[in-house]
Amino acid sequence: MLIVLAGTIGAGKSSLAKALGEHLGTDVFYESVENNPVLDLYYENPKQYAFLLQIYFLNKRFESIKAAYKDDNNVLDRSIFEDELFLTLNYKQGNVTKTELDIYKELLNNMMEELDGMPKKRPDLLIYIDVTFDKMLERIEKRGRSFEQIDGNPDLHSYYQLVHAEYPQWYDNYDFSPKMRILGDELDFVNSEKDLQTVLAMIDEQLAVLDLQKK
């Protein structure tokens, strides 16, 4: 199976991906953040580095999903399916031009066509972690990445609001694979082992339903 996680910044994707990988005995492909040479530059100057950052992420996610498609069981903590959302947001903010957006979309479409030739055509399940804006900010602050903190960069608060507001519609429109929603405020799987086990049981149940549908 191939499971992809989705959700806004600070939703808890990496935490759930790690737990899910251990639970299912699968490999986990994490988002390229710690060794990303462009991310800090983007937070300092989004107008200059937004396009470069999204090209970097697109390339890394394409690598990850190609590798994941080749194996039987894998989990991705963010996937290529969300990438256009972030560049579109940067376009709305004036950080990228229409030409850059069009070039990016053409490149993304070409990559998606390449995926059609892989042994697995699409993910088995997308899991969307839905958190409130306050919970999002709480987790961003708690994990402590300096370039993500709004205290030193007030413009980030507005950006985070835009990102958070875009996700519900993105999830509603997503139709590339089966999907499910996890309410991350009600089930705090990051800090509560009980809630984590509840979430894992929900995912097991959904995978069992999907497996029955295939038979």
Q: Which residues are annotated as a binding site for substrate?
A: 31, 43, 54, 78, 83, 148
Considering 77, 130, 172, 204, which one is annotated as catalytic? Answer: 77
**Among all chains, which residue has been given the structure tokens 């990228």?**
96
**Burial track 151-187 (b if 16+ CB lie within 10 A, e otherwise):** eeeeebeebbeebbebbeebbeeeeebbbeebebeeb
Neighbour count for residue 35 (Cβ, 10 Å):
7
**Among all chains, which residue has been given the structure tokens 């988002």?**
31
Residue 95 carries which side chain, given as an amino acid letter?
Answer: N
Residue 96 carries which side chain, given as an amino acid letter?
Answer: V
Q: Going along the chain, which residue ranges are E strands?
A: 2-6, 27-29, 74-76, 125-130, 179-183
Residue 77 is a catalytic residue = yes
The annotated binding site for ATP is made up of 7-15, 139-143, 187-189
Cα separation, 47 vs 32, in Å, equals 21
Catalytic residues: 77
